[in-house]
Amino acid sequence: MMVTMPLPNLFLDDLTLCEPVELRQAIINLAQSGVEEKFRLDFKERWEADKQCPDIVAFANSYGGLLVLGVTDDRQGFPGIPVPPKSDLKTQLASVIATRISPVPVFEVHTCPSPNNAGYALALIRVSPQPKIHMYLKGEKPVYIRNDDQSVPARATDLQALLDRVRSAEKSDQEVIYQSRDIARRFYVTKANDLSATFAERQYAKNRHRSNTYCRIEAVPERSMRVGLDSVLEQRFVRTIYQSYPSIARRSSEDRGSRIVEREDRAGSWYRYHHLDLERDHEAVWALNKDGIIQFICECAGRIGNAPADLWSLVDLFINLDGSLRLAHEMWTMLGYFGDSQFLVELSVPKLVAHTVETHYPSLFYGVNFGFELSVARKVTGDYEVTSGRGEAVLGYDARTSQRPASLAILGNQVLRDLGIGVDVTALRDALGHLPPP
């Protein structure tokens, strides 16, 4: 006997687990059920950003809700909206929302093929309420709320109510950040005890010690994402690491098994991927957990030739930041998250010297043909006593994409300032606009 699975509740259920045919039938059933378009539901036949973005703003400022696209006014026809020929409809809709609404609301986009129109799709945008005032950036009236079945500009009394809600809201997102900082203590990198040992000997834990020189970066989404970790997602995470760090991917493909050792492990709700370059004595670890938190840590003490490992690289700091931003953005986009995020970076370089070559700061580990001129940061000579430098910033969708050089400059400047390095922020930001992939 065939067992029929219940169709998903479009307001509550995890729609990432829903097959396209199930999503389509659930949309059809909801449209034809006779349910009224009220505060939390709206159907539209077409996608028009200047009209629908205010609807999304209104949902976010009110009670949340569903915006269903591709359904006729009488809710009996399902023509869908056009699927772009060279991009994904879900990504296209999400990108428009993320760039036209500030702050970016918590939302999901789900699509499925139209029942009778090839090249067209039904789309469902599910918006969650938040204790923030969301604004549409492209119109003369930026703030909207839901009034019965309509999205209307907020009046003075409405704005006051929104402000009161923001002031009284609990800072629940801090719990995720504190959780991240607690977990960060469990991640570390190692150095070889004896570089005269063979590559095979250097890889074993008994021949390595925990390093106190490292760069650690955490990317924390504003809300828990309920990530379903499985082998498929873990493999996609590794592929995205290689896309975000192409120089590491290249060395891995060339030297894996001899000078490059890679492994994976799972610790509770975490998946971790380890990369150990035995020749350079450079270890890096990436991790992803069920809340969508992404962590990265790598060794940052390097050497030239057979000299002691007493150098660190300004360029590598920004390459690591850039790679982590790229990795987090690509993974979160794939998982349907486009909201704000907290980025935290810590650089520990006790008694290391910033690496310079003649007129610029070069890379130590990544081998990129790129460097900062010495005028970008005041040169540090000799040993200096320092524990670490730290940076922290809230980055939205634009800050992770089109404005990434400015975001890198903000985070990196905080770290370097802690280390006593003066930075020309304008020159640094301009230079970061030409930073190659790590």
Question: At which of 166, 193, 211 does a domain end?
Answer: 166
Structure tokens that stand for 3 in this block: 């067992």
* SS3 state at 393: strand
| 180 and 36 belong to one structural domain | no
Structural domain of residue 287, as residue ranges? 173-432
4 domain residue, yes or no: no
Structure tokens that stand for 88 in this block: 């994904």
341-348 and 353-354 beta bridge pairing: unpaired
Q: Is the peptide bond prior to 103 cis by the omega test (within 30 degrees of 0)?
A: yes
Q: For residue 264, what are the CA distances in angstroms to 234, 248, 287?
A: 10, 16, 10
Model confidence over 108-147: pLDDT tens digits? Answer: 899 999 998 999 999 999 998 888 899 999 888 899 999 8
Per-residue pLDDT of the chain (438 residues; tens, 9 = 90+): 344 457 788 888 878 778 899 999 999 999 999 888 888 899 999 999 999 999 999 999 988 899 999 999 999 999 999 999 877 898 889 889 988 998 888 888 999 999 989 999 999 999 988 888 999 998 888 999 998 888 999 999 888 888 887 876 644 444 444 454 445 556 788 888 888 888 888 888 888 888 899 999 999 988 777 788 888 899 999 999 999 988 888 888 777 667 888 888 887 688 999 998 888 888 999 999 888 999 999 999 988 887 888 889 999 999 999 999 999 999 998 887 887 888 999 999 988 888 888 888 888 888 777 888 888 888 665 555 667 889 998 888 888 888 889 999 999 999 998 888 888 888 888 888 877 766
Q: Residue 377 forms beta bridges with which residues?
A: 423
| 95 and 237 belong to one structural domain | no
| 161 and 179 belong to one structural domain | no
36 domain residue, yes or no: yes
| 120 and 188 belong to one structural domain | no
| 351 and 279 belong to one structural domain | yes
2 domain residue, yes or no: no
| 123 and 183 belong to one structural domain | no
Model confidence over 193-251: pLDDT tens digits? Answer: 888 888 888 888 888 888 899 999 999 988 777 788 888 899 999 999 999 988 888 88
